[in-house]
Structure 1
């Protein structure tokens, strides 16, 4: 149970079969509170709603209350979230959904308790429903064609905010993967969006990036700072620096890396071992202080849980930045985190979401497999070591990929709706992208075939995809026109370092490939070779 449960008067139970069995035996519905440690609204609901004695007594008497940390249990989060945190969800004893909401103050909560109790008494289990994402066996498959990339470029043009940058005209999310897609295909959109993020979402005093902005003008930022979102933006700014040479982008990435390696760094055992913490909470009062006042104030709480998926993204981001800059700090911390995750959270190819002295998280979730694999394949390209990359890919393909090519989000063996599989697009694309890297690095076509199956599994819906999943279109393009730069000398050689800086970010760089030259392959065909960095630049630009 999370430490904030003690602030309430509700008699919370842990998520698990015992809670559902208790609900069946008592004939009561379940109240599921989905919270996260970084959300101010979660803390406010604990203090104002769940700590109110009469409400707590009502909950304890008429319901089986269950509390779940959504960061530690993403399999529960993705099945029951009501659009944000906290999520207040009422379930039947079989785990189907009666109703739900996000934040509820005391008055709103009393009203929904009465409504749920009445529904349960009159309709019982029949009142429960299953979310649409769990009602289908597989996504709509199709052919991977050039039209997927073309349609996404059209989406970029249609959704771009010409006045303020970014995509959409309401809430502004940074969308780092969309920025990366645009850097190659609509660079002005990408650079203007990076500049807006620099101006409005960067914490210039403490470092790191805020989550998103509530206003079209990038105003009213949400001040939580999550590891995965910060890592994704480090990577996007690093790519922005690679394509433009803009020093401000490099400095922004560097400052964010400083935040990650200080405020979010957790030493796990000794001076050489460690990894990154999951998040730092939001606190508008703190973030309105100037630098001098912050120095004497208590900073927002850091959740020091080390998550496999978020650390995979951090390893990927720091290795990418090191590739473009030769930055020793980024390289060193990427290596340390990679070793810690591989040694403590990966066993026989299966990644465990987190592990503490008190609890062990779920194992074999698609998002963990995908993001750890991406961290390993990127660090393989940059540092020359793959670690357990092949074992992680093999486990995911064997245990999570279906005959249709789609990937399930994890083992379907939990209580409630966790016994049903989901087929998440985002995690599938991340895995497919990493599998394409691995196919080149390991020289094994099986991984490319698995990636093709994953992308084709969603191709029937590609014409309905928005800019927030531009990563899908980028991966589809890589499938159709793969580019691989095989560098004979070892990682760290002059030719290898030049290859990392000169190749575009959708090209796989394979170090230590044998020989003294670098060879560029496009669509499987050898198109050019070089033995020196100057010659390599000519090959990559088509001037050789």
Structure 2
């Protein structure tokens, strides 16, 4: 249980079968509180609502209260999230949902307690329902060029010409959308990167805030999460690769500095820093004497996979050795402590979940990038094989976790965004190993959602990126060790959606000092020098 729970008067239980069985035996509904360490609203609700003695007494008497850290348990989060944190969810003893909300003050909480009690007394278990995502199978279809075309149309239709970014309300950085746009609508991508570094970069402490509440990128939410910072660093690095814009490199560097200082635990990257807006609104001279928001030093496997990927992409374009050293150390920590025969443990605790799709996919992401940039694959193949063996259904779709557990964990969930992350990494692994099984698995994973392609918005542009790569995967196989002039040139000259494979660690054999361009399995040409490679890739 997290420290913030100690501020409350609620008799919280840990998530598990025992808590739901106790609710069933007592004939009471469940109150599930989904919280995070970084959310100020979570801490405020603890202090203002759950700490109120009469509220706590009503909860303890009429409900079975369960508290879950949403970051440590993403498979629970995805089934019960009410749209933000805290998520306040009322469930039946079977785990189905009665109702829910996010932040609740004392008066609002009293009202919802009365309402839930009335509903429960009148209808009992029949009042519960499954979230829509658990009621439907993925909408399968054919992977065609239309998926990419539709996403380009979405970019054009939703781009904010006045302020940059997509949409006319809250502005998220959407780094994967930026990367999709870099090779299809570059002006949109660069204008969004300009807005991100102007409005979301913390110029004093480094790192990037989560999002802005306003269309003009004002009123930023100030929490800083490792996975989100890593994604922004990577997008800025790619922006620098395409444009040579020095500010993108400098902003990426500030993100790297934040990850390797504030969030560095000594062995790997911690999870997040809280978003105390009073602190982050201070002038630099005032911050120096103020207490910085707390850092959650939990080392999550998936977060570190993305950080390794981002730092090595930055290193590939800049030769920054500090970034590669931290990435190596984090990779060693991750693989030595959280990977066991390809199965990834979310964090270092005996009760931590294992084999979650998000951790498998993101760990594989870091390992394939390490293979491509450093020539050091680690257990990339083992991680991929475990995922294919344990989380893939017969139709090629992927479940978010091994099936089974309390509440709705017994219901399979097929997450689009995480499936895409896995498919992207499987394509890289296919390019690195020459094993078509991985590209075939990526194709089937994308096809599992292709029936919804015309309904997808820019927030899932990564899906269109992977669909495009399936039909035109570029691999630059380099017959040298990683770090040679030819290999380094390949990393910098290749499209960021291509795969650079240093063959000293792959299954292919090439003449020494030869780079070979292969597109969709067909050889397009070879080069023996960086200059010749540039000619090959630009003609």
- Place the TM-score, normalised by the shorter chain, in its bin: over 0.9
Shift, 1:465, TM fit: 0.4
Shift, 1:523, TM fit: 1.9
Shift, 1:360, TM fit: 3.2
Q: Does 1:406 pair with 2:397?
A: yes
Whole-Å separation in 1 of the counterparts to 2:351 and 2:218: 39
1:455-489, Cα deviation, whole Å (9 max, x unpaired): 11111110100000000001000000110000001
Whether the aligned pair in 2 keeps the contact of 1:30 and 1:66 (CA below 8 Å) is yes
Corresponding residue SS for 2:393:
coil
In structure 2, the residue matched to 1:78 is: 78
In structure 1, the residue matched to 2:241 is: 242
In structure 2, the residue matched to 1:221 is: 220
Unpaired segments ≥5 residues, structure 2? 505-509
Count of residue pairs the alignment pairs up: 533
Q: Does 1:45 pair with 2:36?
A: no
Whole-Å separation in 1 of the counterparts to 2:404 and 2:433: 32
Shift, 1:210, TM fit: 0.2
In structure 2, the residue matched to 1:309 is: 302
1:315-336, Cα deviation, whole Å (9 max, x unpaired): 0000100111111011001111
1:172-231, Cα deviation, whole Å (9 max, x unpaired): 000000000000000000000000001100100000000000000001100000000000
Q: Does 1:343 pair with 2:342?
A: no
Whole-Å separation in 1 of the counterparts to 2:285 and 2:337: 39
CA RMSD, aligned part only? 0.7
In structure 2, the residue matched to 1:122 is: 122
Whole-Å separation in 2 of the counterparts to 1:539 and 1:112: 65
Whole-Å separation in 2 of the counterparts to 1:502 and 1:438: 20
Query: What is the 5 A alignment of 1:398-477?
Result: 398-477=389-468
Query: What is the 5 A alignment of 1:272-291?
Result: 274-291=267-284
TM-score, L = length of structure 2: 0.98
In structure 2, the residue matched to 1:325 is: 318
Whole-Å separation in 2 of the counterparts to 1:365 and 1:158: 35
Corresponding residue SS for 2:42:
helix
Whole-Å separation in 1 of the counterparts to 2:158 and 2:70: 31
Corresponding residue SS for 1:34:
strand
Shift, 1:512, TM fit: 2.9
Q: Does 1:87 pair with 2:92?
A: no
In structure 1, the residue matched to 2:507 is: none
In structure 1, the residue matched to 2:519 is: 522
Whole-Å separation in 2 of the counterparts to 1:216 and 1:255: 24
Whole-Å separation in 2 of the counterparts to 1:45 and 1:158: 39
1:92-132, Cα deviation, whole Å (9 max, x unpaired): 00000011000000000011001111111111001001101
Whole-Å separation in 2 of the counterparts to 1:295 and 1:360: 38
Corresponding residue SS for 1:44:
helix
Corresponding residue SS for 1:265:
coil
Whole-Å separation in 1 of the counterparts to 2:61 and 2:16: 20
Q: Does 1:27 pair with 2:11?
A: no
Shift, 1:291, TM fit: 1.1
In structure 2, the residue matched to 1:501 is: 492
Corresponding residue SS for 2:66:
strand
TM-score, L = length of structure 1: 0.97
Would you identify which runs of 4 or more consecutive aligned residues in structure 1 move more than 6 Å?
A: none
Whole-Å separation in 2 of the counterparts to 1:325 and 1:405: 38
1:232-253, Cα deviation, whole Å (9 max, x unpaired): 0000000000000001000000
Q: Does 1:185 pair with 2:184?
A: yes
Whole-Å separation in 2 of the counterparts to 1:156 and 1:456: 22
Whole-Å separation in 1 of the counterparts to 2:318 and 2:4: 42
Whole-Å separation in 1 of the counterparts to 2:356 and 2:521: 32
Unpaired segments ≥5 residues, structure 1? 268-273
